[in-house]
Copies of this chain bind each other. A is one copy, B any other.
Amino acid sequence: MKFVVEYEGSDPNKEKTSTLFTLANGYFGIKGDIEVEPSEYGTMVYGFYDNTPYFYREIVNGPRIIGIRIFLNGIEFVPSSLRAFTKRILNIEKGKVESYISSPVLEYSSTRIVHIKDRNLAILKFTIVPKEEGLLTIYNPIEFKQTNPSFIDEVRVKHYKIVKLKEYPTGIYSKIRTLDGKYELELASSLLFRGDFERVVLNKGEEFLEVYKIHVEKNRSYEFSKLIFVGEDIKKRLNNVKEVNIDKNIKEHENAWRELWEIAKVNISDSELERAVNFNIFHLLQSAPQTPIISIPARGLHGFGYRGHVFWDTEIYALPFFIATFPEKAKIMLLYRYNHLKEAKENASRNGFHGAQYPWESADDGYEATPSEIPLDISGKKKVRIYTGEEEHHITADIAYAVDLYYQFTGDEDFMRRYGLEIIIETAKFWASRVEWNGEKYVIKRVIGADEYHEHVNNNFFTNIMAKYNLYLVLKYFEDPKFRDVVIKKVSKEDIEKFKEIVHNFYIPRKINGVYEEFDGYFNLEDCVVDNIFEIGEKRLPLDVLKRIGKTKLVKQADVIMGMVLLKDKFSPEDMEKNFNYYIKRTTHASSLSMPPYAIMAAWLGYEDIAYRYLVKCANVDLLDIYGNTKDGFHVATAGGVWQIIFFGFLGIDIKEGRLKAFPRVPRNIKRISLKFKYRDRLYKAIYENGHLELIPLK
Which residues of chain A have a CB within 8 Å of any CB of chain B?
Answer: 37-38, 50-54, 56-57, 71, 73-76, 78, 80-81, 134-137, 145, 147, 150, 154-159, 179-180, 198, 200-207, 211, 213, 375, 377-380
The 6 closest A-B pairs by CB, nearest first: A74-B137, A51-B379, A74-B213, A81-B202, A154-B158, A53-B380
The closest CB in chain B to the CB of A9 belongs to B203
A122 to chain B, nearest CB (A): 23
Supply 15 further A-B pairs (C-beta < 8 A) apart from A37-B204, A75-B202, A150-B155. A38-B204, A38-B205, A52-B379, A53-B378, A53-B380, A54-B379, A57-B379, A73-B213, A75-B198, A80-B203, A154-B158, A154-B159, A155-B157, A155-B158, A156-B157
CA distance A54 to B56 in the complex (A): 18
CA distance A202 to B105 in the complex (A): 14
A–B pairs, 24, beta carbons within 8 Å: A37-B204, A38-B205, A51-B378, A51-B379, A54-B379, A54-B380, A56-B379, A73-B135, A74-B74, A74-B137, A74-B211, A75-B137, A75-B202, A80-B205, A81-B202, A81-B203, A135-B135, A145-B145, A154-B158, A155-B155, A155-B157, A156-B156, A156-B157, A180-B378
A204→B81 contact, CB < 8 A:
yes
Q: Pick from A137, A155, A200 the residue with the most CB of B within 10 Å.
A: A155
B78→A202 contact, CB < 8 A:
yes
The closest CB in chain B to the CB of A203 belongs to B81
CA distance A147 to B155 in the complex (A): 9
The closest CB in chain B to the CB of A74 belongs to B137
A407 to chain B, nearest CB (A): 37
CA distance A102 to B645 in the complex (A): 69
CA distance A273 to B56 in the complex (A): 51
CA distance A151 to B156 in the complex (A): 12
The closest CB in chain B to the CB of A156 belongs to B156
| Contacting residues, chain B, for A378 (C-beta < 8 A) | 50-53, 157, 179-180
B154→A179 contact, CB < 8 A:
yes
CA distance A377 to B54 in the complex (A): 11
Q: Pick from A150, A377, A378 the residue with the most CB of B within 10 Å.
A: A378
| Contacting residues, chain B, for A157 (C-beta < 8 A) | 154-156, 378
The closest CB in chain B to the CB of A206 belongs to B38
| Contacting residues, chain B, for A136 (C-beta < 8 A) | 74
CA distance A74 to B155 in the complex (A): 35
| Contacting residues, chain B, for A159 (C-beta < 8 A) | 154
| Contacting residues, chain B, for A57 (C-beta < 8 A) | 379
| Contacting residues, chain B, for A51 (C-beta < 8 A) | 377-379
CA distance A74 to B57 in the complex (A): 42
| Contacting residues, chain B, for A150 (C-beta < 8 A) | 155
A309 to chain B, nearest CB (A): 14
| Contacting residues, chain B, for A50 (C-beta < 8 A) | 378
B380→A74 contact, CB < 8 A:
no
CA distance A53 to B376 in the complex (A): 11
The closest CB in chain B to the CB of A105 belongs to B200
Known: A81-B202, A203-B81. A155 touches B53 (CB 8 A): yes
CA distance A380 to B375 in the complex (A): 13
A53→B375 contact, CB < 8 A:
yes
| Contacting residues, chain B, for A154 (C-beta < 8 A) | 157-159, 179
| Contacting residues, chain B, for A137 (C-beta < 8 A) | 71, 74-75
CA distance A377 to B154 in the complex (A): 20
CA distance A204 to B75 in the complex (A): 13
CA distance A29 to B96 in the complex (A): 48
A53 to chain B, nearest CB (A): 5
Pick the contact of A205: B37, B134, B211 (CB < 8 A). B37
Pick the contact of A158: B145, B156, B377 (CB < 8 A). B156
Q: Pick from A74, A136, A203, A204 the residue with the most CB of B within 10 Å.
A: A74
